[in-house]
């Protein structure tokens, strides 16, 4: 019974937090995030793929080279 | 299985798939997904993969606790990306927002250099600090390039632990599992 009460409470509190999030200005970004280098980097790294010498594919994360010295 | 248990199972399933915190989905939409800035929500979701009941408590906790605004989550994400891709071991990056009385810091601890298929080569361990109204929270994560090959790492007790997040070319793991 106790665990069902906890689950119901979790559901209720989560619904409440969603309502609060809708009703305040918390969800506005107050600086130029979308033109920052870091935002561009996130998008680039999310989709970027490179082909290695051995024909396999991987992401562009430069730290992959710490596993495979052939990529350095 | 009797009808009441069946209803409860469906209810739990419904809650688990619909309870993704709203603030997390907003952060995701804006690519402000620094694990420390979204930790309570990510940790609650993570718990659904490894705990039978504890996740419900974590959902309740994350829903009732104070968190960073979206702008501050983006600031924390900004210094995280700057640190992971641009800073050397031992270096750190910070941000501060006096308007909200919040601040954050990322410090890169070490980078694992290990060649070969096995091991954590390319992973970077870092500390993350978030301060809200003079209350400081610290987190420790291991960020690993996607090519590590497996989203799950084996913890110190030998259990496979899934990462908290894949974001910007990195898998993020809560370091507490590996100490």
Q: Which of B123, B131, B126 is nearest to B149 (CA)?
A: B123
Where are chain A's structural domains?
34-72
pLDDT, greater one: A4 or B17: A4
> Of all residues in chain B, what percent carry a pLDDT higher than 70?
73
Indicate if the pLDDT at residue B157 is higher than 70. Answer: yes
Q: Which residues does chain B have within 8 Å of residue A64's beta carbon, measured at their own beta carbons?
A: 122, 145, 147
Write down the ipTM of this complex.
Answer: 0.77
Indicate if the pLDDT at residue A25 is higher than 80. Answer: no
- Name which of B8-12, B39-43, B154-158 the model is least confident about: B8-12
pLDDT, greater one: B121 or B8: B121
Q: What is the pLDDT of residue A27?
A: 72
CA distance B177 to chain A (A): 22
CA dist list (Å): B130 to A12, B72, B106, B169: 27, 10, 9, 23
Which residue in B82, B115, B168 is closest to A45 by CB distance? B168
pLDDT, greater one: B46 or A24: B46
């Amino acid at each position: 019974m106790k665990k069902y009460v906890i689950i119901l409470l979790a559901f209720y509190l989560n619904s409440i937090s969603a309502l609060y999030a809708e009703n305040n200005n918390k969800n506005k970004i107050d600086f130029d995030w979308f033109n920052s280098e870091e935002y561009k980097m996130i998008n680039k790294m999310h989709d970027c793929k490179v082909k290695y010498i051995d024909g396999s594919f991987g992401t562009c994360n430069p730290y992959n080279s710490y596993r495979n010295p052939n990529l350095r | 299985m009797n009808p009441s248990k069946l209803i409860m199972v469906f209810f739990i399933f419904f809650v688990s798939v619909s309870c993704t915190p709203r603030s997390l989905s907003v952060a995701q939409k804006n690519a402000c997904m620094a694990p420390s800035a979204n930790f309570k929500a990510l940790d609650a979701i993570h718990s659904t993969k490894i705990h039978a009941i504890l996740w419900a408590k974590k959902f309740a906790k994350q829903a009732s606790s104070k968190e960073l605004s979206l702008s501050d989550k983006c600031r924390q994400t900004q210094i995280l990306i700057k640190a992971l891709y641009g800073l050397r071991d031992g270096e750190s990056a910070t941000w501060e927002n006096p308007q909200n009385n919040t601040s954050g810091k990322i410090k890169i601890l070490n980078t694992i250099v290990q060649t070969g298929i096995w091991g954590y080569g390319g992973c970077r361990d870092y500390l993350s600090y978030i301060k809200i109204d003079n209350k400081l929270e610290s987190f420790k994560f291991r960020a690993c390039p996607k090519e590590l090959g497996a989203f799950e790492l084996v913890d110190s007790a030998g259990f496979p632990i899934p990462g908290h997040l894949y974001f910007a070319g990195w898998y993020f793991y809560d370091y507490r599992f590996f100490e």
